[in-house]
Amino acid sequence: MRMLLLLFLLCVMGYLVSRFRRGRGGWLFYGLAFVLFVASACGPLPAWLLTHLQAPYATRPAVTWAPRNAIVVLGVGTSRVAFTGQVNPTVFAGGRLAEGYTLYRACKQSGNDCKVIVTGGDPFRNGVTEAAAYGDVLLGMGVERNDLMLETRSMNTWQNAQFVQPMLTAYMPQRVVLVTSAVHMRRAQKYFEHFGIDALPVRADYEDARLTLFPMGWNMSLTEAALHEYVGVLTYYMYNAFGWNAPPSRYGAP
């Protein structure tokens, strides 16, 4: 949406300059819009943006399990099945659920105490929270019910971190593992650190753009996703500068 809006605004600026100044300056805006569209839809722009976002998380770290461990899985939406009304995790949640369960199984095999915390409310207004929908899938995969904790109030990544913090304070794990998409990890980790949560980042899916001669909607979608993350990080620093964020807190503090 941001990329399409930017392209639209550039075209509007080009029209206004051409219409009211009666010169050729408008073609500068049209040309810029065209270059941005080609760079985005044909792959170079999203490839560059994604590399800087995902590279630190490309390699999954080896996890040393402690006596008490919490694996935090972030939600990424739900979808309502047509005709049946059933609410399921979106297709983008598969990697997070698989990685969360893989980590849980490895933790249990180590003989230590392991909890899976799934965080996400119902921002899409489907009537079922992300945490509940994902939790059902994880139970079906083999997570024990006593090891599953659901955070059902959060509507965004900031609230994921904010509302998970008291759950971690109550459980007091020695190891916290944060599971989300690689493209989302930088922003998520920044928010969790703000609330004093020193989590080991383990990425689930990893996105890559396709360099093509012809425009692809997939590349445009990746550009939009990457820009969303950069804007989120920039907004975090801006809110901190203006004092609009909740004060940083220490994990485990009352």
What are 160-212's pLDDT values in tens digits? 999 999 999 999 999 999 999 999 999 999 999 999 999 999 999 999 999 99
In a domain, 191, yes or no: yes
Average pLDDT, the chain: 91
126 plus 15 within the same structural domain: no
Enter the DSSP assignment of 70.
Answer: E
- Give yes or no for residue 29 having a pLDDT over 90: no
Q: How confident is the model at residue 9 (pLDDT cuts 50, 70, 90)?
A: confident
Task: Find the domain containing 30 and state its range.
Answer: 2-54+212-236
Q: Please give the share of the chain, as a percent, with pLDDT higher than 90.
A: 80
88 plus 50 within the same structural domain: no
Q: How confident is the model at residue 22 (pLDDT cuts 50, 70, 90)?
A: low
Q: Please give the share of the chain, as a percent, with pLDDT higher than 70.
A: 91
- Give yes or no for residue 12 having a pLDDT over 90: no
Rounded CA-CA distance 204/180 in Å is: 6
Q: Which residue has the higher pLDDT, 24 or 166?
A: 166
94 plus 50 within the same structural domain: no
20 plus 121 within the same structural domain: no
Sign for the CA dihedral angle at 139, 142, 146, 151 comes to: negative
pLDDT, tens digit, for every residue of 94-117?
999 999 999 999 999 999 999 999
84 plus 8 within the same structural domain: no
pLDDT for the residue numbered 28: 76
Rounded CA-CA distance 73/176 in Å is: 11
pLDDT for the residue numbered 125: 94
Tokens of 34: 């065209």
pLDDT, tens digit, for every residue of 223-246?
999 999 999 999 999 999 999 998
pLDDT for the residue numbered 203: 98
- Give yes or no for residue 15 having a pLDDT over 90: no
Q: Would the pTM count as exceeding 0.85?
A: yes
pLDDT for the residue numbered 107: 98
80 plus 186 within the same structural domain: yes
pLDDT, tens digit, for every residue of 38-59?
898 999 999 999 999 999 999 9
82 plus 184 within the same structural domain: yes
- Contact call for residues 151 and 131 (beta carbons, < 8 A): yes
Count up the domains in the chain and report the number: 2
89 plus 187 within the same structural domain: yes
In a domain, 250, yes or no: no
193 plus 89 within the same structural domain: yes
98 plus 13 within the same structural domain: no
pLDDT for the residue numbered 25: 67
In a domain, 248, yes or no: no
CATH number where 145 lies: 3.40.50.620
The b-or-e profile of 75-113 (16+ CB within 10 A means b, else e) is bbbbbeeeeeeebbbeebbebbbebbbbbbeebbeeeeb
